[in-house]
């Protein structure tokens, strides 16, 4: 068994996707052959986590376009653009989705009058380059983050920003997994992450496979552990970083950042530059996905809220840059991020 997870794989004509809604109970792999199937897999969180959503959508375009090779070139390009527009409606917050689809659109445009079969090859090469780029970014993030940490530290993480959310090493989990390979050991507390339990179901599953010392806590226990001096650093992933360094991530991240600030604990945000969106000026401009109230009222098959009671279920929150000790990317570490430092990182 490979120790690291590759949740989305291209298989010459279809996309193999690990259905994360079934974890940790079952490892079920979906065969995705159409854009509709990929849209549904992204919307239902079968494939989830910002970089993995981007990779999944890019391969979703490839799977769909395999079905239209017999069309005229102009019709093929029309379908390509419609497919990209359609997949972009699957989820609103993680900017990697739009970044990856934009790359696919440009790759298609660059093909001009090529035969459809040649365009298809170029599209598949681009999707593969997106995947390989994100995998390399994860390793570089892990390396950069390791400089900020010390052997034996105890880390709190929220949601899942591991291989399941990317490819293999993940972002927030990359230093932990890379460290493990090098005999640098961390203890990890994984926030359960209500309402869909990405921390309990996914982070714990990944870290256990990698033989990392992981303990699951409910989200409301983090403050107590910090007060007891049991947390040395908080590391989280991100779904979109605005141009001023504000970072959207799974709802509950902001609470963890406020707690870390109060207790004087470093709060690190890990993410590839594909998650930084210079077109979004501040965190207030990041669209926050609202999800089905049933995720809260009937989470895992049992009703836990009386019928008819109102529910508010935003999937993400925004941590203001003032609360972030550093944003760690493959290009380097941005300490105390602000607009100028993010601009410099992005070369703008």
Cite the beta strand spans of the chain per DSSP E: 8-10, 15-18, 29-32, 154-157, 187-191, 213-217, 233-236, 240-242, 247-250, 267-270, 276-277, 316-319, 326-329, 332-335
- Please state, in angstroms and rounded to a whole number, the distance separating the CA atoms of residues 108 and 120: 8
- Please state, in angstroms and rounded to a whole number, the distance separating the CA atoms of residues 168 and 221: 29
Q: Considering the complex, what minimum distance in angstroms separates the CB of residue 73 from ligand MRU?
A: 36
Q: Considering the complex, what minimum distance in angstroms separates the CB of residue 76 from ligand MRU?
A: 31
Choosing from 191, 219, 239, 277, the catalytic residue is: 239
Query: Which residue number, 49 or 60, has a Cβ lying nearer to ligand MRU?
Result: 49
48 near ligand MRU, rule: CB under 6 A: yes
Task: Show Cβ contacts of residue 154 under 8 Å, excluding neighbours closer than 6 positions.
Answer: 186, 187, 188, 189, 230, 231, 232
Q: Considering the complex, what minimum distance in angstroms separates the CB of residue 306 from ligand MRU?
A: 26
Query: Which residue number, 244 or 249, has a Cβ lying nearer to ligand MRU?
Result: 249
Token reading at 93: 């917050």
Token reading at 109: 């445009």
Of 46-54, 106-114, 148-156, 318-326, which segment contacts ligand MRU by CB under 6 A?
46-54
Query: Which residue number, 84 or 315, has a Cβ lying nearer to ligand MRU?
Result: 315
Of 166-174, 178-186, 220-228, 298-306, which segment contacts ligand MRU by CB under 6 A?
166-174
45 near ligand MRU, rule: CB under 6 A: yes
The three-point CA angle 159-26-48 to 5° equals: 35
Tell which positions 237-276 bind ligand MRU, by CB under 6 A. 237-239, 249-250
Q: Which of 159, 212, 235, 257 touches ligand MRU (CB under 6 A)? A: 159
- For the question of residue 213 being annotated catalytic, the response is no
Cite the beta strand spans of 208-337 per DSSP E: 213-217, 233-236, 240-242, 247-250, 267-270, 276-277, 316-319, 326-329, 332-335
92 near ligand MRU, rule: CB under 6 A: no
Enzyme catalytic residues: 239
Site residues, ligand MRU (CB under 6 A): 45, 48-51, 94, 159, 161, 165-166, 170-171, 198, 237-239, 249-250, 315
């Amino acid at each position: 068994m490979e120790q690291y997870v590759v949740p989305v794989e291209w298989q010459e004509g279809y996309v193999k996707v690990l259905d994360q809604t079934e974890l940790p109970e079952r490892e079920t792999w979906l065969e995705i052959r159409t854009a509709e199937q990929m849209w549904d897999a992204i919307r239902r969180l079968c494939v989830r986590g910002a970089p993995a959503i981007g990779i999944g959508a890019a391969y979703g375009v490839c799977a769909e376009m395999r079905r239209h090779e017999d069309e005229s070139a102009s019709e093929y390009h029309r379908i390509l653009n419609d497919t990209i527009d359609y997949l972009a409606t699957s989820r609103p917050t993680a900017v990697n989705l739009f970044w990856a689809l934009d790359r696919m659109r440009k790759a298609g445009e660059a093909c001009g009058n090529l035969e459809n079969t040649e365009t298809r090859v170029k599209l598949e090469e681009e999707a593969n380059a997106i995947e390989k780029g994100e995998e390399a970014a994860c390793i570089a993030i892990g390396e950069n983050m390791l400089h900020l940490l010390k052997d034996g530290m105890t880390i709190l993480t929220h949601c899942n920003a591991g291989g399941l959310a990317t490819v293999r090493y993940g972002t927030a989990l990359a230093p932990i997994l890379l460290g493990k390979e090098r005999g640098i050991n961390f203890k990890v507390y994984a926030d359960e992450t209500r309402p869909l339990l990405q921390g309990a179901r996914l982070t714990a599953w990944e870290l256990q496979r990698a033989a990392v010392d992981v303990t699951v806590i409910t989200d409301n226990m983090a403050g107590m552990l910090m007060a007891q001096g049991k947390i040395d650093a908080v590391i989280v992933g991100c779904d979109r970083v605005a141009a001023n360094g504000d970072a959207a991530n799974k709802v509950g991240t902001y609470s963890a950042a406020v707690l870390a600030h109060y207790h004087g604990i470093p709060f690190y945000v890990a993410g590839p530059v594909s998650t930084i969106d210079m077109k979004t000026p501040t965190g207030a401009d990041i669209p926050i996905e609202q999800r089905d109230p049933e995720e809260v009222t009937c989470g895992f098959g049992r009703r836990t809220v009386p019928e008819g009671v109102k529910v508010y279920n935003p999937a993400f929150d925004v941590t203001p840059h003032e609360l972030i000790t550093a944003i760690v990317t493959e290009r380097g570490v941005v300490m105390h991020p602000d607009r100028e430092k993010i601009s410099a990182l992005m070369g703008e």
